Amino acid sequence: MSIAVGMMDKKVTLWKRSSTQDEDYGGYKSVAYNPEAYFYAHVIWKTGEIKNEGEQMQQNQVCEFYVRNTGPATTALVSDYILFDTSKFYISSIDVIDGRKKFLRLTAMQVQKVDAQV
């Protein structure tokens, strides 16, 4: 698959996970997500997962976000999520495509639609 930079025309926002530590016990008190940065991606909608028995799972929309391997996209972790097209997509894997300086593929699963207040 060949991707040109001009194909990256969908604006997505990376929301980073942050944790607040409990001062008494060293555990986590709370987890929050904050908007980190936006960037442009080439988005490929995948179908739902298919089990070995041939049954297709519903409600598991998977997307691949192809982004440049520079700038804010390089800070993405699998604990973060992407906001795209009024939906949250939790990142499940991050792969380097076409050499270490070219592209990243962020594979993510849609978890829910969100309102405009996000």
State residue 28's pLDDT score: 62
State residue 38's pLDDT score: 93
Q: Which residue has the higher pLDDT, 29 or 49?
A: 29
Q: Is the pLDDT of residue 103 over 60?
A: yes
Of 6, 8, 17, the residue nearest 79 (C-alpha): 17
State residue 105's pLDDT score: 93
Write down the domain spans for the chain.
6-113
Fold (CATH) for 6-113: Thrombin, subunit H (2.40.10)
DSSP 71-99: GGGGG--TT-EEEETTEEEEEEEEEEESS
3-class SS of residue 24 = coil
Write the CA distances from 41 to 49, 65, 68, 86, 105, integer angstroms. Answer: 23, 6, 8, 15, 9
Kind of pairing between the strands at 81-84 and 103-113: unpaired
Q: Is the pLDDT of residue 61 over 80?
A: yes
Indicate the pLDDT class of residue 118, thresholds 50, 70 and 90: very low
